[in-house]
Chain A
């Protein structure tokens, strides 16, 4: 019996966003990273080829994050003390690009200053040739205060700056527009909110191909199913032709997974959870892979072993089966 394979044919496709700029385009990166461009659901190679594979960003900080799990601090060792060394190590761990997340305060508790932030970003840029995403500390005032000078000091590098949120996006978007950067638009696990923020940012005049959306996820066991379904719905809407959802998606499974008890702690946890390190890496890897299945274009990870596993899995998923 000849079975006719049902192929979906979509009206829309995801926009391609280019992160990083080479000297030819006014930056200093050795190569750029392109994300998006899909015209099918993830990895449906039998319908259309996938133009750009999902990429892995490794998250580094401007100073040693003492609140991170001991497993992470141990594996990165002294590299975590310095953004430049950390960036190099992340590149060795086969990161496709870097996320530099700025801390709210310096080690002595005083607020991180614009010059400290600019210094950390420049150090990370100098240490590797990878494209870079810079995230503020996550408080509106601090984000605006730090990201504007960062944007100015790195004009032309085509960073992605984040996080734009519905109540605080104007300053970051304006800085990105003026300095040829992209932005990351974050909304809390809701299709409508994601789309609304894209519209608001676009209304300011930033072209859609300079917006990456972060629809937010929960970790495995902590609401991942909401993030998963929101991403599936956003991607379906994009393919159906809804322009305001046709943006690549970035999610932070590393951040989410490593704040769970399952990853963070090795002691005072049930025996049925098994060995700590393998469990923690599994938690991060499974969270990331679930989101890759639902359409993530950038997954931000923390542990080098998770990076290795997810990288391998994405390579497998990108392999076009012979029968197709």
Chain B
């Protein structure tokens, strides 16, 4: 087969590839970094590169303008090498790292009355062993076991080979004074069996923290809390984008990517890199070592959990949508690949179904839904739009593919809520001129979720578009115009923006947003209908997900994303998933309770019949086709 040489502008060594190779693969071979947020599906247009010499065959030019194409731009993931070519790679849009850190995040309250002696399964003890003598030739291991039994009430203890290998050295190095860390089912009762995690020479001072981590692996963001298990205090909170993003923005893209060649291993490495980097950062803040961490509790949706553990995930996306495993047995840091103590206990929280994972069960725990008598609606405003309805007696749950629109995905000028994002917009009803607020007070670069919600509400209210989401092109106004993607409204003119391009919202964007909000609304309303509980019966609405922190309730109700209820019924909880992991990190009972709640949750597959579809089309309107569901909005429009 013919081979071709691909050269690069920025002094990177050229690579030789066979005819038919994707340009994206050639670029990766040259170890040049290339973002592929859509996972190489030709959907996002972010992998645009310029062919400066030679030609490639382009399968798709989606999201490239006519000028771009004329200038030689192609999508690397959609371009096939068929001759020698020279490539110029524009500077990759850096993903900004303005995420929640402990510098800005609120201090986490330790559950009242936290007592590790009662509820923590990991325990650190100091032991003083009698040295062996000619009269007492007991072996080292039994000597340790005896001390554990006599001085700390442990019964049978398991250890790994490397611990046994190191045993003699540690005992002697500490002159028969050692500190042991063990994971025991219960250690407030004598004779409890345990697993040895760590054995160190000498006596560690009692006030030295015993480190554990709570990790939430989100499709978009990974969050890690570093916790002192002795006090329960969260001493560092760090977050970072999930390294897998460059291989696909949604779970389906990731599962498909995992199915290709070496995809699964690559995705596992990417997320481990993210987690271990976060661990490093967090530990640095408190002058600890990652290997001091002896316990980890992990939460995340089912796909994230499968990919972390490199478990085949194909069956999650294909009918009848089953996971390989919902309730993962306790693992160790070494098995998972964490840079914690190799023998650290790693607990992955249990999920319910393919599209209702541990992130939701953890959320049910931490939101208090599991304990409340009040019928509660819990919505995780993420890409998968998971919803739980119920109380301590019964729980039903569903997921609906809302997509990433409210996180800025699939929207022309959409972006995440970072510096430079417009976060709030108002439109003047008489002049149709917008006013906006930008995160960081700088020139804007795009629109984040809260701005998109506000825009939908404002445009509908002012008649810039009709309730069906069609921009009213009959209105003669410079901001309303026909763009490349059909009618659009200009939010910021080029001279006001950071990149000197107009920031617009197009009819296609609006369609995507309305579909996202309709999916979420239809999800929880159908869930309620299915079990025969009217939505009005829900006494409170709990909203989780990092996205949930930013939305403006009034606007969200105005566009029909949230149900029309008194505002005091809504409670924004932030990241409920990591909080659930944190609770399970502290309290061994918590995991059991998550598991019990997972077993009680009835998962409802929405795609099983037409009812969801009907509810969905009904919600594809602002705020809703059935206006009687939104009395306050109706009243506002009339007034």
Contacts and interface: CB of A to CB of B under 8 A. Distances in A.
A112 to B, nearest CB: 24
A44 interface: no
B617 A190 contact: yes
A268 interface: no
Interface string A125-140: 0000000000000000
Given A170-B472, A170-B474, A193 B466 contact: no
Top 4 closest pairs, chain A to chain B, by CB: A192-B617, A192-B618, A192-B625, A196-B621
Interface in A164-218: 166-167, 170-171, 190-193, 195-197, 199-200, 203
Interface of A is mostly: helix
Contact of A192 (B466, B474, B620, B627): B620
Contacts of B474: 170-171
Interface string B619-635: 01100011110000000
A195 B625 contact: yes
Contacts of B195: none
Nearest to B463: A203
Contacts of A199: 467, 621, 625, 627
A191 B621 CA distance: 13
Given A203-B466, A203-B467, 15 more contacts: A166-B468, A167-B470, A170-B472, A170-B474, A190-B617, A191-B618, A192-B625, A196-B467, A196-B468, A196-B620, A196-B625, A199-B467, A199-B627, A242-B626, A242-B628
A170 B468 CA distance: 13
Interface residues of A, number: 16
B614 interface: yes
Question: For chain B, which range describes its interface: under 10, 10 to 19, 20 to 34, or 35 or more residues?
Answer: 10 to 19
Interface of A: 166-167, 170-171, 190-193, 195-197, 199-200, 203, 242, 244
Interface in B460-481: 466-468, 470, 472, 474
A193 B617 contact: yes
8 contacts: A166-B470, A170-B474, A192-B618, A195-B625, A195-B626, A196-B468, A196-B625, A200-B468
Contacts of A193: 617
Contacts, number: 36
Interface of B: 466-468, 470, 472, 474, 614, 617-618, 620-621, 625-628
B469 to A, nearest CB: 10
Given A170-B472, A170-B474, A192-B620, A200 B614 contact: no
A171 B473 CA distance: 11
Contacts of A192: 614, 617-618, 620-621, 625
A4 to B, nearest CB: 29
B62 to A, nearest CB: 22
Nearest to A243: B627
Contacts of A191: 614, 618
A242 B626 CA distance: 8
B165 to A, nearest CB: 69
Contacts of B621: 192, 196, 199
A199 B474 CA distance: 18
Contacts of B620: 192, 196
Contact of A200 (B466, B618, B626, B628): B466
B337 to A, nearest CB: 49
A166 B626 CA distance: 17
A242 B628 CA distance: 9
A166 B511 CA distance: 13
A195 B467 CA distance: 12
Contacts of A197: 468
A130 to B, nearest CB: 33
A176 B298 CA distance: 63
Given A192-B620, A192-B621, A200 B472 contact: no
B11 to A, nearest CB: 51
B616 to A, nearest CB: 9
Contacts of B472: 170
A242 B625 CA distance: 11
A200 B467 contact: yes
Contacts of B628: 242
A166 B468 CA distance: 8
A167 B486 CA distance: 12
A197 B621 CA distance: 10
Contacts of B617: 190, 192-193
A190 B627 CA distance: 17
A195 B621 CA distance: 10
